Chains A and B, each alone.
Chain A
Amino acid sequence: MAVKALSEYNFPAADTQDKFHGNQLLYVGWDDHLMFCAPFAYCLPPSTPFSELVEKHLPHSFGPHPDWAKVDVARIVWLKSGKPFVPDFNKTLAEQGLRHKDVLRMQTPGLNGNGTCS
């Protein structure tokens, strides 16, 4: 349903990709690790290789968790918008069709904060 307004109501979205200086937003959450209170927001060039995301950016964020050292990145189960997603580590974000404000979830079977999901 549309906004009821006094006159035509049509304003631009605040967070379109053109406002991020050549970058795009990508959200990544790690299931069963609620020590990190929310998924992370990254602001990266679309030309970022997926391998760089996994080898550089994610360890920086998730590294403080004792489970991270045990993660075998090749075996991470990925979800994109809640649906199965198989990334190609050699391709860039753009090449694998990851669009601005897409959300990825990582599942690491067997690793769940010692059964507490913390």
Chain B
Amino acid sequence: MDMKANKKKLGLKEKYAHMTRGLDWETTYQPMDKVFPQATFEGIKIHDWEKWEDPFRLTMDAYWKYQAEKERKLYAVLDAFAQNNGHLGITDARYLNAVKLFLTGISPLEYVAHRGFAAAGRNFPGVGPRVACLMQSIDEIRHAQTQIHALSNYNKFYEGFHAGAAHQIERIWYLSVPKSFFDDAFSAGPFEWMIAIGFSFEYVLTNLLFVPFMSGAAYNGDMATVTFGFSAQSDEARHMTLGLECIKFMLEQDPDNLPIVQKWIDKWAWRGIRVLTLVGMMMDYMLPKRVMSWKEAWEIYFEQNGGALFNDLAKYGIKVPDCITQCTVDKEHISHQAWCTFYQYAHASAFHTWLPNAEEMDWLSAKYPNTFDKYYRPRYEQWREMADKGERFYNNTLPMLCQVCQIPMVFTEPDDPTKICYRESDYQGEKYHTCSDGCKHIFDDEPEKYIQAWLPVHQIYMGNCWPEGTDPTAEGFDPMAKVLEWYHIENGKDNLDYEGSGDQANFAAWRGAATQNT
């Protein structure tokens, strides 16, 4: 008997439809708005979730297949790197301080992104974004894992990796900057989350984070980091598309969504740019072999690429955020201001710092002709002079922080790079200080939210940053030593200058053993 066989395989489009649509049901004993309580409170109006277009049309089976292939390659490279002492092939162990900052500051964000996208997927009533958020959520936890695995090899040999990605993000003063960014996003509704992370972080800013950093890793011989970077890159392309699709979808669904979306774009562009101060510093100061300056990266990846994006969004009525005027001024300053901050608080940081040498200062002068020699070179020369006299400058008092971005108040007035920018707001009889018009604007828009900020300096003064059982009234009590203990920073090992560090001595000895007979 002849059986009529159906077409053997479904087309991609059909398969996508079968595997992603019609999988849910209409509830009977609970109204749908109770099942999806977060769908409307932000004010975003969605009339037809079916209009959501997923440009990738990725199905779960294909997802597993692609990711498994990538994992196999990644772990093969990591094994080879470890077995061949790949860590001795990097330009200089100074470079690893950028990696430490990445591991403690960025990898934990991948994990929070995993949780955030899982929550967004749960809270969107539409199946299209639910599926896309699910996959992104899995991507993000993979990124956290692969980064931790890739970098764990360095922990066998170098200081500052031992507390890893999990512990310090909750505690260390400068890590509260990226942490508070994600806390702010995660404590908003699902639509704001999509603008904050899906759009601003993944679309507008991710190139500034990944491309220069991964090129920096390649330039400095760090194959482990390059490999996880490549593994993540194809996911990032999908994430960027999701962020952009989400923004277009909101704007196409209802004209009332425009002002809300614009407000979020303005807010999250500024929040993201402030976090990227740390990346600017990595690029200009922490890579022994430099790729490009922060200013150049900003011009290529934000001004040019971002400009094209905003041109594309102009047809929906979206305007370039106001803060960009300030950013055009800031691009010549922030990396220097950040490195000056870490240099003087190096005793409280989980990585080493150093003064730029003569060749590096000349490079900075060439890259920053308008600002470096005028404002920053004299500072480094003064510190060099002090250090040569045996009076290496360590700042001995805690700094004032911005209530919103939580960065110490190091930024200068837009029209005067010699004056610290002070902004303040009064709310319910209490004063709140911010570092810029951008942060003040964000504070004033939602003061109820930012008055709850966990500001590391204030928490230290409240006595909340010591190991359990510490008695601050005990004789000889040293508050800063206790704070370092609570941070899991090993004083004298993980912190202070690179010059004279264990990392420096070990790297020289090991590399020497590989190239010499003594």
Contacts and interface: CB of A to CB of B under 8 A. Distances in A.
B397 interface: yes
A13 B430 contact: yes
A72 interface: no
Interface in A1-30: 1-6, 9-16, 19-21, 23, 25, 27, 29
A60 B397 contact: yes
Listed residue (A2, A4, A13, A114) with the most chain B CB atoms within 10 angstroms of its CB: A13
A14 B454 contact: yes
A40 B463 contact: no
B418 A6 contact: no
A116 B378 contact: yes
Contact of B461 (A2, A3, A25): A25
B431 A61 contact: no
Interface string A42-84: 1100000000000000001100100000000000000001100
Given A34-B379, A117-B418, A15 B458 contact: yes
B263 to A, nearest CB: 9
Contacts of A15: 430, 451, 453, 455, 458
A21 B472 CA distance: 12
B400 A117 contact: no
Given A4-B41, A20-B461, A41-B398, A118 B378 contact: yes
B393 A14 contact: no
A14 B455 contact: yes
A39 B379 contact: no
Contacts, number: 144
Contact of B43 (A4, A23, A39): A4
Interface string B33-69: 0000110011100000000000000000000000000
Interface size class of B (residues with CB under 8 A): 35 or more
B391 interface: yes
Contacts of A4: 41-43, 189
Contacts of A114: 378
Given A37-B337, A38-B408, A38-B410, A100 B398 contact: no
B453 A36 contact: no
B432 to A, nearest CB: 8
Contacts of B386: 64
Nearest to A17: B430
Contacts of A25: 458, 461
B422 A38 contact: no
Interface stretch (B139-147, B209-217, B317-325, B441-449): B441-449
Interface string A78-118: 00011000000000000000011111010000001110111
Given A6-B41, A37-B399, A114-B378, 15 more contacts: A3-B448, A3-B449, A4-B189, A16-B430, A27-B433, A29-B422, A34-B375, A38-B409, A39-B420, A40-B399, A41-B398, A41-B461, A60-B397, A81-B424, A103-B400
Interface of A: 1-6, 9-16, 19-21, 23, 25, 27, 29, 31-32, 34-43, 60-61, 64, 81-82, 99-103, 105, 112-114, 116-118
Q: What are the nearest 4 A-B pairs in CB distance?
A: A116-B378, A38-B399, A117-B418, A38-B408
7 contacts: A34-B420, A36-B395, A38-B401, A40-B397, A40-B399, A81-B424, A103-B431
